[in-house]
Amino acid sequence: MKLFTFWPQTVLLAGLLLISACSRNPVTGKREVILMSKEQEIALGQESHPSVVATMGLYEDKKLQDFINEKGKAMAQISHRPDLPYQFYIVDSPVVNAFAVPGGYVYFTRGIMAHFNNEAEFAGVLGHEIGHITARHSARQQTSQLFGTAGLILGSVFLDKTGQFTEAASQGLQLAMLGYSRAHESESDKIGVEYSSKIGYDAHQMANFFGTIKRIQDNSGQAVPQFMSTHPDPGNRFNKVHDMAKEYQAQHPATYQTDRDSYLKMIDGIIYGEDPKQGFVENNTFYHPILKFQFPVPSGWQHQNSPAQFQMAPKDGKSAMILMPAKGNTLDEAAQTLVKELSLNVLENSKTTINGIPAYVLVSQQKQQQQQQGQQQTPDPKTTLQIGTWLIQYNSAIYALHGLSSAADFNNSFPSFRQVATNFRLLNDPDKLNRKPERVVIKTAPRDGTFQEIMAALGMSAKRVEELGVLNSLKADDRVMRGSAVKIISQ
The confidence band for 42, taking pLDDT boundaries of 50, 70 and 90, is confident
In our burial notation (b when 16+ CB lie closer than 10 A, e otherwise), range 392-415 reads bbbeeebbbbbbbbbbebbeebbe
Residues 429 and 446 in one domain: no
Q: Of 415, 433, 451, which one is at a domain's C-terminal end?
A: 433
In a domain, 451, yes or no: yes
Whole-number pLDDT of residue 358: 97
Report in angstroms the alpha-carbon separations of 344 from 221, 336, 386, 421.
37, 10, 9, 20
List pLDDT tens digits, range 6-40: 333 433 333 333 334 445 566 555 555 455 677 88
The three-class DSSP label of residue 395 is coil
Q: How does strand 302-305 pair with strand 310-313?
A: antiparallel
In a domain, 98, yes or no: yes
d(CA 18, CA 34): 8
In a domain, 97, yes or no: yes
List pLDDT tens digits, range 442-479: 999 999 999 999 999 999 999 999 999 999 999 999 99
d(CA 178, CA 183): 9
Please report the sign of the dihedral spanned by the C-alpha atoms of residue 26, residue 31, residue 35, residue 39. positive
Q: Of 220, 236, 267, which one is at a domain's C-terminal end?
A: 267
**Which range, 31-35, 153-157, 183-187, 335-339, has the best average confidence (pLDDT)?**
335-339
Residues 150 and 253 in one domain: yes
List pLDDT tens digits, range 197-241: 999 999 999 999 989 988 988 887 644 333 334 455 655 788 899
Q: Are 254 and 203 in contact (CB under 8 A)?
A: no
In a domain, 16, yes or no: no
Q: Are 354 and 422 in contact (CB under 8 A)?
A: yes
Residue 348 predicted with pLDDT over 80: yes
Whole-number pLDDT of residue 28: 56
List pLDDT tens digits, range 163-180: 333 333 333 333 333 334
The confidence band for 376, taking pLDDT boundaries of 50, 70 and 90, is low
Whole-number pLDDT of residue 31: 55
In a domain, 2, yes or no: no
Range of 312's domain?
A: 276-433
Report in angstroms the alpha-carbon separations of 254 from 101, 105, 141, 199.
32, 30, 36, 11
Whole-number pLDDT of residue 491: 86
Residues 187 and 81 in one domain: yes
In a domain, 325, yes or no: yes
Whole-number pLDDT of residue 25: 61
Cα end-to-end distance, the chain, whole Å: 63
The count of other CB atoms within 10 Å of the CB of residue 452 is: 20
Residues 89 and 123 in one domain: yes
Residues 314 and 383 in one domain: yes
- Total domain count for the chain? 3
Whole-number pLDDT of residue 252: 97
Residues 424 and 484 in one domain: no
Residue 143 predicted with pLDDT over 70: no
The confidence band for 384, taking pLDDT boundaries of 50, 70 and 90, is confident
Residues 109 and 215 in one domain: yes
- 57 or 373: which carries more pLDDT confidence? 57
- 176 or 417: which carries more pLDDT confidence? 417
Residues 378-387 have a mean pLDDT of 82
Residues 337-360 have a mean pLDDT of 94
Whole-number pLDDT of residue 414: 96
In a domain, 316, yes or no: yes
255-258 contacts at long range (C-beta below 8 A, 24 or more positions apart): 256/120, 256/197, 256/200, 256/201, 256/202, 256/203, 257/119, 257/120, 257/200, 257/201, 257/202, 258/118, 258/119, 258/120, 258/201, 258/202, 258/205
d(CA 401, CA 385): 16
Residue 1 predicted with pLDDT over 50: no
pLDDT above 70 covers what percent of the chain? 78
The confidence band for 304, taking pLDDT boundaries of 50, 70 and 90, is confident
d(CA 284, CA 282): 6
Residues 284 and 347 in one domain: yes
Residues 168 and 208 in one domain: yes
Residues 482 and 455 in one domain: yes
The total number of residues written for the chain in this structure: 491
Any idea what the Cα angle at residue 183 is, between residues 177 and 186, rounded to 5°? 145
Number of H helices, E strands in the chain: 16, 21
Whole-number pLDDT of residue 127: 95
In a domain, 11, yes or no: no
Q: Which residues pair with 89 in a beta bridge?
A: 107
d(CA 35, CA 14): 11
Residues 261 and 325 in one domain: no
The pLDDT mean for the chain works out to 82
Kindly report the CATH number assigned to the domain that includes residue 406.
Answer: 3.40.1000.10
Residue 399 predicted with pLDDT over 50: yes
Whole-number pLDDT of residue 444: 97
Residues 413 and 454 in one domain: no
Q: What is the dihedral of CA 329, 335, 337, 341, to 10 degrees?
A: 150
List pLDDT tens digits, range 256-285: 999 999 999 999 999 999 899 999 999 999
d(CA 392, CA 312): 18
Lowest mean pLDDT among 22-31, 99-108, 365-374: 22-31
Please give the model's pTM, rounded to 2 decimal places.
0.75
Q: Of 433, 448, 467, which one is at a domain's C-terminal end?
A: 433
Whole-number pLDDT of residue 139: 54
